[in-house]
Amino acid sequence: MSVTSQEELTQRLDQLTDLSVALGQTRDVPALLERILKAAKQMTHADGGTLYRVNADRSGLSFYISLNESLGMHLGGTSGNPADFPDIPLIRDGLPNLSAVAAYAANTGQSVNIDDVYQVDQFNFSGMSLFDQQHGYHTQSLLSVPMRNHEGELIGVLQLINSTDPATGKLVAFSETDQRFIEALASQAAVALTMQELITRLEDLFESFVKLINLGIDEKSPHTGRHCEHVPELTMMLAEAVHRTGQGPMADFRMTERDRRELWLAGLLHDCGKIVTPVHVVEKSTKLETIYDRIHEVDVRFEVLKRDAEIRALKSKLALGSDVAKEREIDAALNAELAALDDARNFLRHANIGGEAMRPEDQERVASIARDFRWNAPDGKERDLLSEEEVMNLSIRAGTLNAEERQIINNHIVMTVKMLESLPWPKHLQNVPEYAGGHHETMDGRGYPKGLRGEQMSVQARMMAIADIFEALTAKDRPYKKGKTLSESLHILGGFRQRNHIDPDLFNVFIREKVYLDYARKFMDPAQIDDVDAGKIPGYVP
């Protein structure tokens, strides 16, 4: 072997080594395949080359990338120019197609090395001949190598044309050394592609599994199901806005595609712990609701009290005889008692809704009604109108959940963290538990479950906190409230910012870049989308 050929061999080995490293590092399949084809051309001094991939139903070979240096041709791959050629069938009339050279290599698993295609009768080169006529080109030497993975499964075919002598520029045959190098490259490329496809499939399977968990939550409560869908969407909208911003404290924030996928998965999983939350707590739309709304039981007790009042009045009238004046007094007293009962019942019905914060005096009135009105229960014993548990629930200051139920709801984030931290996350997804588990933490350290302060949380977790709050404010499908308008929601969100609950810099981006409007147009009821004056939003600094 000459000095020149030895140097060339060493150079090819270096190229093969470098490419092997690159194959294991990139996740961009089109760019990966294009690099493989270009490396093959460079190693063999080929003028052109085509990379075929097995089509979806494995019935043929599809043109994926086609390059030709002399013609300045770049089709498929990253070029943006489609390779609009018909697939090469692998089967004809029920038998392996051996007439097309690429199909032959694919079906037999053997490389095909031809010195001059116009001197060979074994294969049908009519398509190649037509190509030469149309482009004023002359195809001579050809090397077609099957790409099979470690399990022997066909991935595609790598085909090169017109090897050129670098010294003279003349067309020459592909050497045996060329063939062996390309076979090694094709083998490595096939394994790398298989691994990439396997990783992609596993990631798709994992994301489908995550969506299955959310579907399970959705089946328990359609209200939380939409929340699980919308929070990741809004989180990504905010993240992209921060990624684009070129001003302020967030100007240096950037995301790679891996970062985006990691954040998206965290968004999908941020409430996965709700799968263990009891349905009656998640769906509690009134203060007395468990499996059903027990306000109707209270209604029955009032009806019993009204019946008893009417019976007492009738008995009093019977005892009087014909004293009309006394009967009128009895009727007036009865009407006053019935009115008082109706007033108390209406008050409790309103208190049961829990749509607004309850005043201390109203909480005291609940206790007073429970004591002042007594009724005979089915067991014949006289009791307070309301039990201690009913008084406690009807006196809830805000919302419909009592302290115990709120703790159960809050526990979903503890379960989320436990569930996610128990999984063996790969390196590129290792932040998912922190992102997903931090959306109820606050900048001032008063959040839960860990009481982290702002500087202890990632930017992504702080993004998710804003998305979680804003989605909850605007959602109109909650059992316990109506969806607020856009301006109302932003005003309340601004209050969270002023109380140091959410990140002020992210909040400013959320408003300045109109992330709220993008979300509203995509997910909110048009009736909720009103005009927003950013200058009136509390805490916003343009």
Among 473, 518, 475, which Cα is nearest to 493's?
473
Inter-helix orientation angle 324-353/360-372, to 10°: 130
For 467-516, the pLDDT digits (tens) are: 999 998 998 866 556 778 999 999 999 999 999 999 999 999 999 999 99
For 456-470, the pLDDT digits (tens) are: 999 999 999 999 999
- Which is it for the CA torsion 125, 126, 130, 131, positive or negative? negative
pLDDT number for residue 511:
96
- Which is it for the CA torsion 242, 246, 248, 249, positive or negative? positive
For 107-126, the pLDDT digits (tens) are: 999 999 999 999 999 999 98
Q: Could you tell me if 328 and 316 are in contact, meaning their C-beta atoms sit under 8 angstroms apart?
A: no
pLDDT band at 85 (very low <50, low <70, confident <90, very high): confident
Architecture of domain 3-198: 2-Layer Sandwich (3.30)
Residues with Cβ < 8 Å from 305, sequence gap 6 or more? 341, 373, 375, 385
Distances (CA, A) of 402 to 366, 413, 496: 15, 18, 23
pLDDT band at 239 (very low <50, low <70, confident <90, very high): very high
For 335-365, the pLDDT digits (tens) are: 999 999 999 999 999 999 887 789 999 999 9
Domain ranges of the chain: 3-198, 221-277+404-536, 295-400
For 201-217, the pLDDT digits (tens) are: 888 888 888 888 777 77
Whether pLDDT at 259 is above 90: yes
pLDDT number for residue 25:
56
Mean pLDDT of the chain, nearest integer: 88
Tokens of 318: 């019977």
For 25-80, the pLDDT digits (tens) are: 556 677 778 888 888 898 899 999 999 999 988 999 999 999 999 999 999 888 88
Among 103, 102, 96, 48, which Cα is nearest to 71's?
48
% of the chain residues with pLDDT over 90 = 60
Query: What CATH number does domain 221-277+404-536 carry, 1.20.1730.10, 1.20.1250.20, 3.40.1000.10, 1.10.3210.10?
Result: 1.10.3210.10
pLDDT number for residue 202:
82
Tokens of 265: 């998965």
pLDDT number for residue 206:
83
Of residues 388 and 291, which shows the higher confidence score? 388
For 389-415, the pLDDT digits (tens) are: 999 999 999 888 888 988 888 888 889
% of the chain residues with pLDDT over 70 = 93
pLDDT number for residue 406:
87
pLDDT number for residue 310:
95
Counting beta carbons within 10 angstroms of the beta carbon of residue 467, is it exposed (0 to 12), middle (13 to 18) or buried (19 or more)?
buried
pLDDT number for residue 89:
95
